[in-house]
Amino acid sequence: MKLWGAAAQTGQLLTLSALCASVLADSNPVIKQTKLANLPVNLNYFEDSDSIIYQDIRGKNIHFSKDAGVTWDRVEKVPDGKAVALQMHPFNPKAAYIFTNSKKHYKTTDGGKSWDSFTTSSRPSDERPGEILSFNAEDPERIIFNAMDCGTFFCSEQAEYTTDNFGKTKVLRDQTAGCWWAKSNREFTTGDKELDKKRILCIAREKRVSDRGGNHLVVSDDFFAVEGNEYKENEPALDTNKVVKGIASVAPVKKYILVATASSRSDEMALFVTDDTKKWHRAMFPRADTHDHSHIISQDGYTILESTNYSIQLDVMSSRPSKPMGVLFTSNSNGTYFTENAPYTNRNADGNVDFEKISGIQGVFMINTVENGAEVEADGKDKKIITQISFDDGRTMDHIKAGDDTLHLHSVSSLRSLHGRDGIDNIGRVFSSPAPGLVMGVGNTGKSLKPTSDADLYVSDNAGMTWKKALSGHHIYEFGDSGSILVAVKHSKEADVKKISYSLDHGDNWKETELPDGQEIRPLFLTTVQDSTSLKFVLVGEKKKAYFLFAIDFDGLHERKCGDGDMEDWHARADDSGKATCIMGQKQTFRRRKKNADCFIQSDFKEPLPQTDVCECTDVDFECDYNFERDSEDAKKCKASGPPVIPEGACKDKNGKFKGSSGWRLIPGNVCKRKDGKQLDDPVEQDCSGKETPSEPSKPSEPSKPADGKVSHTQREFDSDLKDFQKLYLGKGDGGSSDTEVIIARPAEFQRGQVKIEDKIYRSTNHGKDWEQILKNEKVTGIYPHDTFDNVVFFTTGEEKKVIYTVDSGKSYHYTEREDKDKRFSAEAAVGFIAGHGNVGPALSSKDDADTFLSTDGGISWKSVKKGRWMWQFADQGSIIVLVQSTKEDKNAKTNILSYSIDNGNTWKDYEFSKDKVSVLDMTSVETGTSRNIVLWTRSESGKLATINVDFSGLSDKPCKFDENDSKSDYELWTPRHPSQSDDCLFGHVSKYLRKKVDKTCFNEQDIRRLHTIEDCKCTRADFECAYNYELHDDGQCKLVPGLQPLSGKEWCKLNPNATVWYTPTGFRRAPSTTCKDGKELDKSLDDHACPGFEEDYGRTHPPTSGVAIFFAVVIPFALAGAIGSYVYRNWNGKFGQIRLGEASSATFDSDQPWIKYPVIAISAAAAVLASLPLLVGSLVRSASSSFGGGRNSRSWFSSTARFTTRDSFSRGRGAYTVVEDVEGELLGEDSDDEF
C-alpha cells in the first residue's frame, strides 16, 4: 500500500510537473521570425482572415502568408521581378490585384490562395500610383483601370473598364487624368440604383493644353460611348449654373464627391461638392475679416480629413509652407457651408494633419494645435504644440489630462516624418482602434509637446477623458482581442531592441518577452487585423540593412473564453456617478471585457457595436452657423462675421424681408430629438435692405447693380510728389475660390535707369475703385513677384535679413514696371485679337508716323482703327477693346477721352473719363483680358497722381450662353489658319475656338473653355524641321553641317525615354509643336535599331530576313528597270532633262533612232541593277551572319542593315540614303516644291 501510495504520489507529482511545464510554456506569446530580402511595404490583411500580403518594391515581387505571418511565399504566378503595384479591393474582402509594367496583370478572388492573369489594352498609369483602380461600391465586379497609353515617343493617360472583374476590358475614354465611379463609397448614391451602377466621372484633359488649366469634369452613364467623333458625355455645371475648368482632383468622401479646381497662374483653389452628381455647389468658407488667419484654399494646401456620413471635415493651410499650420472646418449636411472649428492646427509639409477621430465613438476626435500660431506666422517663432480633444465634433475643445497634469501627444505629422526615411506610412490609426474606449499615444506632460526623445507611452480606457502613464520612452503599439491585450515595442534609432511588452489589464500592468534567438532590431512598424479583434500581430524591424518580420501569437496565454460575467457595459460618455450621458444627441454603450478578467474574448473578426439611446436636444447640440462666430463676451451667443445667406428668390424687393439664419445650426451628425415649440436654429425674419449677398452657391455671379447700357468711372487721387506708379496686378482665373481682383501700387518716379519710390504701399480689391494703405510700419524698398505663382509676392526692406512676403491665395499678382518693354500685342483670353503700331507700305517707317492697327483673325488681315499711336487693352475676353492716348506713346499727350469697341473694332465710341485733360501714364487690366474693368493711371496738370477705374459692367447684365445650335448660341466658332496653306491645319491640327458673336449683347460670365474642338491632321512637310546638327539648304533639304555629327542613337533614346526604337538620322525631325498623325514620316529612315534595354523586344518584332524577301529584292528592281525602259521607249519626246509628271506628250519615241533607243534601255536597267546591289548584298550578309552566329556587332565588310518588313520599306527608299532628291521626288509623283 505504501509502495502504491508512493507510486501514486510520484505519478501525481509528474502530472503536476507536466501541467506546470505546460502553463510555463504558454505564459509567453509564440514568436516566429522570418528574414526578408527587402523592406515590406503596403502590407495588408485580407479582411476577416489570417492571410497577409505585402509588396517588395525593390525586388518587384509580392509575398503572401496564410498563417498570420508565420510562413511566407512569393506569389509564383507573377513572374519574378515584374510586380510594380498591389491594390486591395475595398468592397470584396477576398480580392486583390497585382500590376506589372506591361499589359498583363494578376488578380485573386479567394483571399490570395490562387491567382489568375488578365490583360488590359495599356499599362498602369504612372500618374496615379495609389489609384490605378476605381471600384463601384454597388457592384464589386465593375472596376475602372486608370492606364497609360504609350506610343513610340509619348504617353497619355486613358481609362479602361470592366463589368466582370477583368473577364474582359474595354477602353473607357482617352485623354484622362483619372476616372471614378460616382458610387465609389457605400454611403453615396445618385438617388437611382441603376444609375449608381453606371455613372462615371472623369477628368478630361483638353488637347494641346499642357497644364491642368484646361482640365474639365465630364460625366457619362453609358461608358463614354462614341457618336461620330464625339464622346457621349456631359460637363456638369459645378458652379450652380456654369461649368468650371482647371479641374485638379476628384475625391469621393463618404456620401459626398469633392472636386478641386485651380487657376493656371495661381496656386489658389476652389472646392465644389455634390451629394448626388446632379446638383453641385461651390464650397463656401466663412469670411476671415475678424481672424488673424486666412480661409483661402491654396494648391497642396488643403487636406480632407476622416469625415462622417453627415459632414465633411477639412483642414486648410493658412500659413507659410516652412512652418505649416491650418484651420479645421466642418461642413453642413450637404457639404456646402463650412464653419471654423479650430485655428492653427498642426500640419507637416506633406499635408498630414494632427487630427484623428476616436474609432467607434460618435463625435469624439483629438487634434494638435499651435498655441502660439499668430507669433509663428508673424515672426517665425518655434511652434508650441498642444493636444486637445472634442466630444461634440469640434464645437468645443478640452485639454487632455494625465492625473492633474496636462498631456500632449504626438500625432500623424511627427510620426510620419519620423518614419519617412524608411518609406513607411504610419499604418492605420495613431491613437485608437475599434477596441471600445481604448486609446494609446506617446507624448509628455507639461505646457507643450516635446520631441519624441522625451516621450513616454500613455493609455486611456475611457475614450480620452483621462490618461495614465504606461511605459517609459517612445513606443510603437497596437490593440488586440477588442482591447483585451495591448502590445508595445520600444522605438529606437539603433538596432538594440530585443523585447516586446504587453498588458492584459488596459495598461495597468505590463509584461515583457524576448524576441527569438536573442535577435535585436530597430523596430519599424507593428500591426494587426483592421478591426483589432485578433490575438496575432506582425512586427517588422531592421538590422544592418537586413529586414526581419516577426509573427506574434498570444492565443495560448489563456485557455478559456470570456463569459457574460467577464463583460461590462461601458458608456462612451458618463457622469461622475457612472451613468451614461448624451454625446452628439445620443447615449452610446458598448459591451467590453472587464480589464481584470482572466480570459480572452476570442471573437475574431467581429467588431464590437454600440447600443444607442436618443436624447432630447439641448443648447449643447447646436453650433454657430455659416458666417457666424461665437461671441467672445457671451459664449451663449453667435454673432455675425459676414453677410447672411439670402434664400434663392428672396429679396427681389430690396425693401422686403426674408427668413435667414438665427446664427445657430444643429451640429452635423447630431441625432438628438427636437422638443416641441421654438428651436434655437429657427429662421429669423430680417430686412433685405442694407444686406450684402455673399456669392453663395445658389446664385450665379452678378453685377452689383442692373445694367443700364452705360460705362461708368471712379477716380481716386494719391497724395504724392512723384510722377508715376509701380504696380502689382491681379491675374484671376475661375479655378480659384476668390472672385476678387487685387491691385497693389505705390507712387514712383523713373529717371535715367533709376527709380525713386515712396514708402507708402496701397491695395485695391475692387478694380482700383477704392484703395487702402498696407504695411504702414515697414519701409519697403523692393517688390518681387514669384517666378511660378503670380499670387506670391516678396517685399524687401532696408533692414538686414528681413523679407516680407504674402501667399494671398487668389490675389494673383504680376509685376509691372514703368518701362513696359514687352507690351503685349494680345491677351490670352482674347483669342485671335492682335493690336499694334505701324504703317502701310514696303517697309516700317518712323514710329512718329505710325498708326494703330487691329487684327481679329490672328494676324492674317489688319485694319487701321486710329490715326497715331494709341494704347490698347482687351477686356471681357476681347469682346471689349479699349484705346487711349498715353504718354507712353506720346510724352506730350493729354486727354480725357478713351475709345472703345464692342463689335471687333468695326465701330468705336468715345467715353469721357475726366472733366479735365490728364496725362495717361498707363492703362491696365488683368493679364488674361477676362475682366470688364480697366484702370487708367494718370497725372493731372498740377502733378497730382490719380487712378481712374473705368467699369464696362453696365453695358450688359446678361451672361453669354453657348449652344451647339448656332442660331441659338451667343458664340461663334473661329479657326486660326496659316495664310499660305489651303486648309485650316496649323501645327498639325485644326482648332476651333469660342468667340462671342459681334451682334450679341451679353458678357462672358466666366473664363470660358475657349478651345471647343480640335482635330489632328495628316503629317506634311510643314510638320518637320531640321534635326540636331542639320541645316536647311536652298533646295529644301536638311543636310548635315560640315564637321558635325548627328545625334547618336544612345543620345536620342535618352532624350525620348518612352521610345523602344531609334532610326538612322534622315536630317529631319518632327516639329515639337506639331500634333499631326499618319501621313509623311520624314524623320524615319528604313534603318531602325533597338534602344538600350529593349533589345529583346526588338528581336521579337524583327525576325531575320527571309529568302522570299531576298527574291523580291532581286526580281523587283529588274522588273522596274524593264518597265521604266519600256515607258521611256514608248514616250520619249526627244528632250533630255524635261520629264515632268502630268505633261501631255506631243511626240512619240522614234524607233528609227537607235542611238537613243538602246542606250536609254541599257542605262535604265544598269541603274536599277546598281540600285539593288547594296540591298542584295546586305541581305545576303545578314542571312549569312544569322546562319553562322554573327551578330550586329560582328566585323563585317558591309554596313547596310536595311530590312524589308513592310510595303513601306520600299517606298521609304534605300537604306543608304537619308533624303529624297528633287528629281527622285518628281519621279515618285510628288512635287517637292509644294511641300517644302
The tens digit of pLDDT for each residue in 1176-1186 reads 344 433 333 33
Question: Side by side, which strands form the sheet with 104-108?
Answer: 83-88, 96-100, 104-108, 116-119
- Name which of 169-183, 417-431, 974-988 the model is least confident about: 417-431
For residue range 903-917, what is the model confidence (pLDDT) as tens digits?
A: 999 999 999 999 999
Residue 1094, pLDDT score: 73
Q: What is the C-alpha separation between 1067 and 1047, in angstroms, rounded?
A: 10
| Bigger pLDDT: 1211 vs 839 | 839
Look over the chain and give the mean of its residue pLDDT values, rounded to a whole number: 79
Q: Is the dihedral of CA 1104, 1107, 1112, 1114 positive or negative?
A: positive
Q: Would you say 144 and 181 are in contact if contact means Cβ atoms under 8 Å apart?
A: yes
> Considering the entire predicted model, what is its pTM?
0.69
Instruction: Please give the angle made by the CA atoms of 1092, 1093 and 1097, to the nearest 5 degrees.
Output: 110
Measured CA to CA in angstroms, residue 104 lies from 42, 78, 127, 222, 231 at distances of 21, 10, 19, 26, 27
Instruction: Identify which of 751, 746, 737, 738 has the alpha carbon closest to the alpha carbon of residue 776.
Output: 746
Rounded Cα gap, residues 1176 and 283, in angstroms:
72
φ, ψ of residue 10 in degrees (nearest 5): -65, -40
> Residue 464: what pLDDT?
93
Residue 32 DSSP SS3: strand
Rounded to an integer, the average pLDDT of 775-782 is 77
- DSSP category for residue 1048: P
- For the residues 769-792, what does the mean pLDDT come to? 74
Rounded-to-integer distance, Cα 597 and Cα 481, Å? 13
Digit-coded pLDDT (tens) for 548-568: 999 999 987 766 889 999 999
- Residue ranges of E strands in 371-503: 385-390, 398-402, 405-409, 439-445, 456-460, 466-471, 475-480, 485-490, 499-503
Q: Cα torsion at 442, 444, 450, 455 (round to 10°)?
A: -50
pLDDT of the residue at 76 = 96
Q: What is the mean pLDDT of residues 49-70?
A: 96
Give residue 1068's pLDDT: 92
Categorize the per-residue pLDDT at 155 as very low, low, confident or very high, splitting at 50, 70 and 90: confident
Question: What would the mean pLDDT of 365-371 be, rounded to a whole number?
Answer: 95
Q: Which tens digits make up the pLDDT trace of 658-697?
A: 888 999 999 888 899 999 889 999 999 988 876 555 444 3
Q: What beta strand segments (E) does 754-831 contain?
A: 754-757, 761-764, 772-774, 780-785, 792-797, 803-807, 813-816
d(CA 165, CA 139): 10
Task: Name the residue with higher pLDDT: 754 or 1230.
Answer: 754
Write the CA distances from 420 to 348, 350, 413, 497, integer angstroms: 12, 11, 10, 20
